[in-house]
Structure 1
Amino acid sequence: MDRISEDPDVRLVLDSYAAFARGDIEAAVAPLHPDVEWLEPAEFPRGGLHRGPAAVAEYLRASRAAWSRLESSPTAYRSGADIVVLHHVAGELTDGTPHSATVVDVFSVVDGVVVRMHAYADPAEVP
């Protein structure tokens, strides 16, 4: 096992991606702090700031519902205290349109709880 996969915070984040991919939104938001700040790019449907697990769950449900078939391929690494995830999604939208995208999500995890997530539509935008 490599060192990054042994990191409990990275494992926690990647487990949330797996839950999202299978449509288990409750499991996906389980590690979120009650006041989590979840920031999606403005150009995304329902993008913007979502605060708290219930708001994030609503956003993720709507996002997952747009896909009839979804393949999720997250790759995580540490950047200082943050966990950076290069997330590639591919599949078919509910209207039958094939779609794929790659985004970068930056997580702040404190004491085993996600306190912030900031997503970037363009990986080149990540500071």
Structure 2
Amino acid sequence: MSPQSAPITVVTDYFTALAEGRVPDALAKLHPQVQWHQPGQNQFSGVHTGPDAVSTLIGGMMGVSGGTFALAPAGPLMANGALVAAPVHFTGSRNDGVQLDQLGLDLLTVHDGLIVEVHLFSADGPAEDAFWGSSATQ
């Protein structure tokens, strides 16, 4: 494994691209068949397959949050073989004043220099569900 394809390096590059607003570069770190497991019981919950589906998911979240949704590492990345655990802090606000501000954990699996699976965990799932709402309420 080259240093550029080491799981922690791939995930670091992914989060750096997101933080710098380089979404296409972040999406390029995803395997063409990436499995993205979005938690909860809201309009975005479920498994999203492929970078295009993840892009659509993020676009939907930006729409609900009026472009304010943000995600940033909240501590050091931790690797165990192909798995990288990333403590995160995510925020957003809706036009009606409802706020999202909580911690979570992203668990990313990396193979051959690409992220092949992402499992997301939220500190307060019901609050996140309430923020995103159901497809019927948006």
TM bracket (short chain): 0.7 to 0.9
Contact between 1:14 and 1:74, CA under 8 Å: does it hold in 2? Answer: no
What does the per-residue CA deviation read over 1:28-61, in whole Å, with 9 as the maximum and x for residues that have no partner?
2111111111101033541110001100111122
Alignment match, 2:79: 78
Report the Cα distance in structure 1 between the residues aligned to 2:69 and 2:85, rounded to whole angstroms. Answer: 25
- Identical residues among aligned pairs (%): 25
Which position in structure 1 is the counterpart of 2:25? 27
**Rg larger in 1 or in 2?**
2
Map 1:1-127; keep pairs closer than 5 Å: 8-65=6-63, 66=65, 67-68=67-68, 70=70, 72-75=72-75, 76-90=77-91, 92-95=92-95, 96-122=97-123
How has the CA–CA distance of structure 1 residues 79 and 85 changed in structure 2, closer, same or farther, with 3 Å as cutoff?
Answer: same
**1:3 maps to what in 2?**
none
In 2: Cα distance, 1:35 partner to 1:71 partner: 23
Say which structure, 1 or 2, has more relative contact order (CA 8 Å, 6+ apart).
Answer: 2
TM-score, with length taken from structure 2: 0.69
Whole-angstrom CA distance in 1 between matches of 2:32 and 2:78:
25
User: Could you say which structure has the higher strand fraction?
Assistant: 1
**Are 1:46 and 1:59, in contact at CA under 8 Å, matched by a contact in 2?**
yes
Determine helix, strand or coil for the equivalent of 1:68: coil
Q: Distance in 2 between matches of 1:19 and 1:44?
A: 27
Alignment TM-score, normalising by the size of structure 1: 0.74
- Return the alpha-carbon distance in structure 1 between the equivalents of residues 19 and 93 of structure 2: 14
Deviates more, 1:48-57 or 1:99-108: 99-108
**Residues 72 and 56 from structure 1, CA distance in 2 versus in 1: closer, same or farther, beyond 3 angstroms?**
same
Aligned-pair distance for 1:69? Answer: 6.8
What CA distance in whole angstroms lies between the structure 2 residues aligned with 1:107 and 1:98?
26
Query: SS in structure 2 opposite 1:42?
Result: coil
Q: Gaps spanning 5+ residues in structure 2: where?
A: 125-138
| Unaligned runs of at least 5 residues, structure 1 | 1-5
Q: Aligned pair in 2 of structure 1 residues 117, 69: CA closer, same or farther (>3 Å)? A: closer
SS of residue paired to 1:46: coil
Aligned residues between the structures: 117
